[in-house]
Structure 1
């Protein structure tokens, strides 16, 4: 197992899925990032990028045929996450850093499961950057949209098949999870979050503490007794003024500069194992600005600095 900081090759895994969301369009996220020159941007900062892998995703069929009262498109999303988990693990086995681009946030159940399985003899940390808690379960979700449920399943709560990708083992420990940028949660979800033991940094916390102090706390949490940490970055964590191309906008989010600051700090630890970039919806964007800014943020996560 090669040391994390010595990996200089990235494998982009594209997952064009929007079945986890109510709005269509996030499936276009990987294409938008491609147009924004993601591969070339990573090469410019010293990485080699292997051929992009694209996960096949079932076509969204008639809504009434595929709705469950608990998990919409459950079977299709589970299949995608299982395949993604295998690809993510294989990337690490090949000494490549997996960069997973979505697609809606349901894919994190696949990516994080793959990372967790690769490092199965150690704990991994998880930075969850999001406007939402994403900790509903099928029994608490008011919508049945799976992109609001991934974190609960990674913590072992919810649908058993999603919790058991690769194995029954819990994918991450609550004490090593930090949610950043939260400002919108469902009523029952709040109880789950409070009871889970994860650390939450709301926008109020960021206002009060500043992103420098929040970043330091996040790093402490996700590196304590872990081999490294995965970054799952939902663009709706940013303020929609900076990132308009997403389907779940919540005003009053993390600024573009604060987002860079967090990712730059995380990069300096040299312990990022892998990353998701999700919920870019080019059909709601303005001139592909969200994808272009997402590429810049990815560069920060992979070590780009001014000097």
Structure 2
């Protein structure tokens, strides 16, 4: 499958003291992407301010979002955004909703965390922890989604570190959860995810992939590792299963934060395997 790539080294949405490692991760990935269809968002260099809200660095997050959307609007193929914190996917999902419609778009959120905080209950004030709540139309001005995604078409996969406020949102909106463990009698995570996407009736799917969805024993280059995650094989199989069920509307690969270039080796190979799963020809 032919896609475009968007290198988006945003760090201002992160709550990590080592957020600049995301820039290094994005740069490493850029070296392995085809130059002919790879584009880059020039993110703001400064931290930015909160614009009178309780969201840290909000001015930079919004400026970066607008810069990414300007590039996305020029592209005609499904786009895989790489690099950056989870808030970098605000632009990708917004563009997919505008292109395909919220009533025809499944959103598969591979993430150890919910990203469902509101500004008032966020423990950090970092926008990465609020991005999905914003995309559901429950954010605040000036950053709330104009066209929210449909919670009935949202599937959270591999989550295992939800706060109480996030669990309340999941229950209230009836959001579908898929465990990182095998479910039922021999039914795999990939089959369960594909069934969940199929049940939405959506023709297209957007895949958000925070690499902390992976088990730390298999992937180390993230800021907040959480035990008992997906294996690499479970993740890539799930991606391929979604691809066989719905057309790819786009994807975001977030939170690649290697400690240094030398430490990135095996983890960089893993990210390239994820990209291969996204771009391979789907099979039934």
TM-score in terms of structure 1 length = 0.82
In the TM superposition, residue 123 of structure 1 has moved relative to its aligned partner by 2.5
Note the alpha carbon deviations across 1:16-66, whole angstroms, 9 max, x for none: 11111122112222212134x233xxxxxxxxx7442211112244x9x66
Name the residue aligned to 2:122. Answer: 141
Q: 2:131 aligns with which of 150, 156, 179?
A: 150
Alignment of 1:1-40 (within 5 A): 8-23=1-16, 24=19, 25-35=21-31, 37-39=32-34
- When residues 28 and 207 of structure 1 are mapped into structure 2, their CA distance, relative to the original with a 3 A threshold, is farther
In the TM superposition, residue 151 of structure 1 has moved relative to its aligned partner by 0.8
**RMSD across aligned positions (CA):** 2.5
Secondary structure at the residue paired with 1:84? helix
Secondary structure at the residue paired with 1:159? coil
In the TM superposition, residue 98 of structure 1 has moved relative to its aligned partner by 0.7
In the TM superposition, residue 206 of structure 1 has moved relative to its aligned partner by 4.7
Question: Is the Cα contact below 8 Å between 1:245 and 1:281 reproduced in 2?
Answer: yes
Question: Is the Cα contact below 8 Å between 2:7 and 2:30 reproduced in 1?
Answer: no
In the TM superposition, residue 10 of structure 1 has moved relative to its aligned partner by 1.8
Structure 2, unmatched stretches of 5+, are none
Name the residue aligned to 2:57. Answer: 73
1:153 and 1:284 map into 2 onto residues whose CA distance is: 32
1:124 and 1:262 map into 2 onto residues whose CA distance is: 17
- When residues 294 and 123 of structure 1 are mapped into structure 2, their CA distance, relative to the original with a 3 A threshold, is same
In the TM superposition, residue 304 of structure 1 has moved relative to its aligned partner by 5.7
Q: 1:268 aligns with which of 234, 240, 244?
A: 244
In the TM superposition, residue 122 of structure 1 has moved relative to its aligned partner by 4.9
Name the residue aligned to 2:43. Answer: 57
In the TM superposition, residue 162 of structure 1 has moved relative to its aligned partner by 2.1
Name the residue aligned to 1:188. Answer: 165
Question: Is the Cα contact below 8 Å between 1:68 and 1:144 reproduced in 2?
Answer: no
Q: 1:245 aligns with which of 218, 221, 242?
A: 221
TM-score in terms of structure 2 length = 0.88
